[in-house]
């Protein structure tokens, strides 16, 4: 199936792996992708940062239920003083999806916390700052030490110059401020934002899914993973405002819960308990506890034109993996 995506001109490179709780089950690469190709993960970075935040919580460095103002003095004001790490992880903080030209810690909520689901890149920028101040370790280093290294992941936040030759360019990336290409510009790749700056192989992302399917070890306790996999603030309306045709109101801690959202990027073959995330660079990952399987599919074409929602793409690939 992924070879057809290349043949039909949707992507230049794509790599996919299927995993279970024991590890890698299947892998395949098509087009320009090779073993060891690094893909820009975009928002698929968020579950990795979320895992690091949960490690920090288990270590006692921060409390998910405590106001982040305990560590971030900038938040000690009425509009933001009750926002917690749990709000930020579950996109229930009230912060907007994007705030242009505003430093992360100066962004104001557009809704009171806990009243509406607004998928928020800004919230994850704040989580990065929270990790840094709560642990005394720069969040990029903490994610590496707490998540990448224990799992042996071939993953980077940000992308070091020494690995740039393995990183695939993203087609139709869009632009960020100063005319820089998202995902591709060296300056962007060096930023390593907590909302979307990681690079990894498909197999590396699969290692995180395997750990979650196995109950969290060696990263997290089974209790924490169960909480990650549980809808926070059930019934909140809202979701992903930049993709209004996708219904995704239910979020756990750093991951979407498939639940009853429709249409959904995973399609309807996965179980309602499936956790997932996608990235605007063309990346997808899900883990279905009912099937005991996870899928990672990383491509080199941004999602802005909707190619991934067409027949034969993400939803049909997911269904075929489960059927097989």
For 2-323, give the CATH class.
alpha beta
* pLDDT tens per residue across span 31-53: 999 999 999 999 999 999 999 99
Q: What is the pLDDT of residue 31?
A: 98
User: What average pLDDT does range 266-277 have in this prediction?
Assistant: 96
User: What average pLDDT does range 164-185 have in this prediction?
Assistant: 92
Q: What is the pLDDT of residue 48?
A: 98
Q: What is the pLDDT of residue 106?
A: 97
Q: What is the pLDDT of residue 217?
A: 93
Domain boundaries, the chain: 2-323
* pLDDT tens per residue across span 58-103: 999 999 999 999 999 999 999 999 999 999 999 999 999 999 889 9
Number of H helices, E strands in the chain: 10, 13
Question: Is the link from the previous residue into 158 a cis peptide, with omega within 30 of 0?
Answer: yes
Q: 209 pLDDT exceeds 80?
A: yes
Q: What is the pLDDT of residue 177?
A: 72
Q: What is the pLDDT of residue 210?
A: 98
Q: Where are the beta strands (DSSP E) in the chain?
A: 13-20, 23-31, 39-40, 117-118, 155-156, 175-176, 180-181, 199-200, 238-239, 256-257, 275-279, 283-288, 293-299
> Per-residue confidence at 179, pLDDT binned at 50, 70, 90?
confident
Question: Is the link from the previous residue into 263 a cis peptide, with omega within 30 of 0?
Answer: yes
From residue 149, give the alpha-carbon distance in Å to each of 3, 58, 77, 132, 206: 31, 17, 37, 18, 14
pTM above 0.75, yes or no: yes
Q: What is the pLDDT of residue 297?
A: 98
* pLDDT tens per residue across span 138-161: 999 999 999 999 999 999 999 999
> Per-residue confidence at 260, pLDDT binned at 50, 70, 90?
confident
Query: How many CB atoms neighbour CB 21 within 10 A?
Result: 17
User: What average pLDDT does range 230-247 have in this prediction?
Assistant: 90
Q: What is the mean pLDDT of the chain?
A: 96
Query: What percent of the chain clears pLDDT 70, i.e. is strictly above it?
Result: 100
Question: Is the link from the previous residue into 227 a cis peptide, with omega within 30 of 0?
Answer: no
* pLDDT tens per residue across span 311-320: 999 999 999 9
């Amino acid at each position: 199936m992924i070879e057809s995506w290349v043949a039909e001109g949707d992507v230049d490179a794509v790599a996919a792996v299927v995993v279970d709780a024991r590890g890698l089950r299947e892998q395949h690469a098509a087009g320009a992708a090779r073993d060891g190709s690094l893909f820009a993960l975009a928002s698929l970075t968020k579950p990795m940062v979320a895992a690091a935040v949960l490690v920090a919580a288990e270590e006692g460095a921060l409390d998910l239920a405590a106001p982040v103002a305990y560590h971030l003095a900038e938040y000690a004001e009425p509009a933001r003083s009750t926002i917690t790490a749990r709000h930020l992880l579950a996109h229930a903080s009230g912060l907007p999806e994007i705030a242009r030209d505003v430093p992360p810690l100066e962004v104001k909520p557009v809704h009171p916390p806990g009243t509406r689901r607004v998928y928020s890149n800004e919230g994850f920028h704040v989580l990065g700052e929270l990790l840094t101040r709560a642990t005394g370790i720069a969040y990029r280093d903490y994610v590496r030490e707490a998540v990448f290294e224990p799992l042996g992941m071939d993953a980077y936040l940000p992308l070091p110059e020494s690995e740039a030759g393995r990183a695939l360019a993203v087609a139709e990336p869009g632009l960020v401020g100063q005319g820089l290409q998202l995902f591709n510009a060296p300056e962007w790749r060096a930023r390593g934002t907590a909302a979307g700056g990681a690079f990894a192989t498909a197999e590396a992302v699969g290692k995180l899914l395997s750990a979650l399917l196995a109950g969290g070890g060696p990263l997290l306790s089974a209790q924490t993973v169960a909480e990650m996999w549980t809808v926070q603030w059930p019934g909140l309306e809202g979701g992903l405002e930049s993709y209004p045709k996708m219904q995704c109101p239910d979020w756990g801690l750093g991951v979407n819960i498939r639940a009853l959202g429709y249409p959904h990027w995973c399609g309807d073959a996965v179980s309602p308990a499936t956790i997932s995330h996608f990235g605007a660079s063309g990346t997808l990952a899900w883990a279905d506890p009912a099937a005991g399987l996870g899928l990672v599919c990383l491509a080199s074409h941004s999602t802005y034109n909707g190619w991934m929602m067409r027949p034969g793409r993400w939803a049909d690939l997911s269904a075929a993996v489960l059927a097989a």
